[in-house]
């Protein structure tokens, strides 16, 4: 039996599966289940998959897959954040896994549902929450002060005119729909119809990242993946903008001791602990053919690495 038809095309699918080097019988985590594109390919390769998603709609759809009802199940769903995968796997008695796939950011399903408020292609409530258990985008733009809004737009959207946009948002409050917010941002930035990129894109990205705590989630998820992967296990991470890719690149380079180690003009730095990852891939980007098939793949970048036998870096406890 096959899974229900998935309503989107997974990005860099062949490359992710190739980088994970899946063998029949492997235990693999799909940290961002979404519509299940990676999970389906992993199951077809003979793996048992533990799939994570904090979106209850994604988990509900996945629960209909026949692999969840096999004995033992080859698909185990976890309605949790992927930053919690270490604790979740311990609860089901799995200490180590052979591979982990992470596809960072908002899913195609969420973007395509106007009622979720992630996109401005169709007007909808100003929500943007992945798990619906935290303040939403409307709460932020209507209650935060102008300086806080400007900081979010600059840090997470790399919006150079963040102060102008924040001032316009505050002046236009209250805002309740994606269309209203997009109109305010476009007016503040002098939108030219027909321009290749809508200027509201950066602000929507920034507010979504802030509302969902996405960059902290990514950092914590990478640390959890390091602790879960067995020696020789593979990590494959797909990101969609420069902020995410910088975090992934720095994490893997630091874990592989691949950062610059001094020069002939400076004393050599002291040796670090043994590398925790090796075999780092170069940045892998979609082919023109894939972009033509799936324009959302255009900004994606895949990075992969192999876990060594070195102990994981000790994580700091989260503040209470």
DSSP letter for 55, please.
-
- Sheet strand arrangement including 301-307: 75-78, 48-52, 27-30, 97-103, 229-239, 301-307, 277-278
Greatest mean pLDDT among 53-57, 161-165, 296-300 lies in: 161-165
Q: What is the pLDDT of residue 119?
A: 63
Q: How many CB atoms lie within 10 A of CB 184?
A: 21
Domain final residue pick, 190, 212, 234: 212
Q: What is the pLDDT of residue 320?
A: 43
Torsions phi, psi for 294 (to 5 deg):
-140, 85
Domain final residue pick, 155, 189, 212: 212
On whether both 189 and 68 belong to a single domain, the answer is no
Is the pLDDT assigned to residue 131 strictly greater than 90?
Answer: no
Q: Are 235 and 224 in contact (CB under 8 A)?
A: no
Is the pLDDT assigned to residue 5 strictly greater than 60?
Answer: no
Domain range for 300: 13-108+216-307
Which CATH number does the domain housing residue 126 bear?
1.10.150.170
Domain final residue pick, 156, 189, 212: 212
DSSP per-residue codes, 56-86 = HHHHHHHTTSGGGGSSS-SEEEE-S-GGGHH
Q: How many CB atoms lie within 10 A of CB 286?
A: 21
Q: Are 60 and 51 in contact (CB under 8 A)?
A: no
Residue 318 lies in a domain: no
Residue 313 lies in a domain: no
The continuous run of DSSP H or E covering 41 comes out as helix 37-44
Residue 6 lies in a domain: no
On whether both 22 and 94 belong to a single domain, the answer is yes
Torsions phi, psi for 125 (to 5 deg):
-65, 145
On whether both 254 and 187 belong to a single domain, the answer is no
Which CATH number does the domain housing residue 67 bear?
3.40.50.150
Q: What is the tens place of the pLDDT at every residue in 203-223?
A: 999 999 999 999 999 999 999
What mean pLDDT, rounded, does the chain reach? 88
Assign 6 a pLDDT band (cuts: 50, 70, 90): very low
On whether both 232 and 298 belong to a single domain, the answer is yes
Assign 192 a pLDDT band (cuts: 50, 70, 90): confident
How far is Cα 5 from Cα 52, in angstroms, rounded to an integer? 19
Joined together, the tokens standing for residue 282 give 């170069």
Q: What is the pLDDT of residue 55?
A: 87
Residue 319 lies in a domain: no
Q: What is the tens place of the pLDDT at every residue in 63-79?
A: 999 999 999 999 999 99
Q: How many CB atoms lie within 10 A of CB 283?
A: 11
On whether both 82 and 152 belong to a single domain, the answer is no
On whether both 142 and 230 belong to a single domain, the answer is no
How far is Cα 180 from Cα 117, in angstroms, rounded to an integer? 11
Q: What is the pLDDT of residue 134?
A: 81
Is the pLDDT assigned to residue 120 strictly greater than 70?
Answer: no
Residue 159 lies in a domain: yes
Is the pLDDT assigned to residue 126 strictly greater than 80?
Answer: yes
Residue 38 lies in a domain: yes
User: Number of folded domains in the chain?
Assistant: 2
On whether both 208 and 69 belong to a single domain, the answer is no
On whether both 65 and 136 belong to a single domain, the answer is no
Stretch 156-161: mean pLDDT, rounded?
A: 95
Residue 3 lies in a domain: no
On whether both 205 and 271 belong to a single domain, the answer is no
Stretch 231-259: mean pLDDT, rounded?
A: 95
């Amino acid at each position: 039996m096959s899974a229900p038809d998935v309503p989107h095309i997974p990005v860099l699918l062949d490359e992710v599966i190739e980088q994970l080097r899946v063998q029949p019988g492997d235990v693999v985590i799909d940290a961002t289940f979404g519509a299940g594109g990676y999970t389906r390919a992993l199951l077809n390769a003979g793996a048992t998959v533990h799939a994570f998603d904090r979106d209850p709609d994604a988990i509900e759809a996945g629960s209909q897959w026949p692999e969840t009802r096999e004995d033992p199940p080859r698909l185990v769903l976890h309605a949790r954040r992927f930053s919690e995968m270490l604790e979740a796997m311990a609860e089901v008695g799995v200490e180590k896994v052979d591979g982990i796939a992470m596809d960072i950011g908002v899913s195609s399903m969420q973007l395509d549902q106007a009622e979720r408020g992630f996109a401005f292609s169709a007007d909808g409530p100003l929500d943007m929450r992945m798990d619906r258990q935290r303040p939403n985008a409307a709460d932020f733009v209507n209650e935060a002060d102008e300086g806080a809004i400007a900081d979010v737009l600059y840090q997470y959207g790399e919006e150079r005119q963040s102060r102008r946009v924040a001032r316009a948002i505050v002046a236009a409050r209250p805002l309740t729909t994606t269309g209203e917010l997009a109109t305010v941002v476009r007016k503040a930035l002098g939108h030219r119809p027909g321009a290749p990129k809508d200027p509201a894109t950066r602000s929507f990205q920034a507010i979504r990242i802030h509302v969902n705590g996405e960059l902290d989630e990514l950092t914590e998820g990478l640390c959890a993946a390091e602790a879960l992967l067995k020696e020789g296990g593979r990590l494959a991470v797909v990101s969609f903008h420069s902020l995410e890719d910088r975090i992934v690149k720095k994490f893997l380079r630091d874990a592989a001791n691949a950062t610059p180690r001094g020069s002939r003009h400076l004393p050599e730095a002291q040796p670090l602990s043994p590398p925790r990852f090796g075999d780092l891939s170069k940045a892998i980007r979609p082919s023109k053919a894939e972009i033509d098939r799936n324009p959302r793949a255009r900004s994606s970048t895949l990075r992969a690495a192999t876990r060594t036998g070195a102990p994981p870096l000790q994580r700091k406890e989260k503040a209470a």
